[in-house]
């Protein structure tokens, strides 16, 4: 499929047809993270990256190992003894 590069502000862009997005399994392209790279033959390769959930976004970059070393498990909440159906 042929297309052209077009100016987009101070950058350039290529419109990706819906059929190509479908082959890449991209249903909602708005905000979809992708990886751009070129190979040794000068070809542009666009790879779909995993879209993070809202929870994953909030914890992105959080160092769980350092937190564990610093605080351990002793900061877990004690909700008291089990009662009712929790006992069985």
Contact by Cβ (8 Å): 36, 45 = yes
Six token digits for residue 14: 């290529």
Contact by Cβ (8 Å): 13, 32 = no
State the pTM of this model: 0.55
Q: Where are the domains of the chain?
A: 6-72
Six token digits for residue 9: 């502000």
pLDDT digits (tens, 9 = 90+) for 40-78: 999 999 999 988 888 988 888 888 888 888 877 666 777
Reported confidence tier of residue 85, pLDDT bands at 50, 70, 90: confident
pLDDT digits (tens, 9 = 90+) for 3-15: 999 999 999 999 9
Cα 88 from Cα 71, distance rounded (Å): 32
Q: 12: closest CA among 40, 36, 32? A: 36
Six token digits for residue 35: 């990886």
What is the predicted pLDDT for the residue at 66? 85
CATH code for the structural domain at 6-72: 2.10.260
Q: Which of the two residues, 85 and 16, has the higher pLDDT score? A: 16
């Amino acid at each position: 499929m042929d297309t052209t590069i077009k100016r987009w502000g101070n950058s350039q862009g290529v419109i990706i047809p819906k059929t190509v997005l479908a082959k890449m399994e991209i249903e909602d392209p708005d905000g979809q993270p992708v990886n751009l790279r070129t190979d040794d033959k000068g070809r542009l390769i666009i790879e779909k990256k995993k879209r993070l959930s809202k929870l994953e976004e909030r914890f992105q970059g959080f160092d769980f190992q350092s937190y564990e070393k610093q605080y351990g498990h002793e900061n877990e909440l004690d909700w008291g003894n089990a009662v009712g159906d929790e006992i069985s």
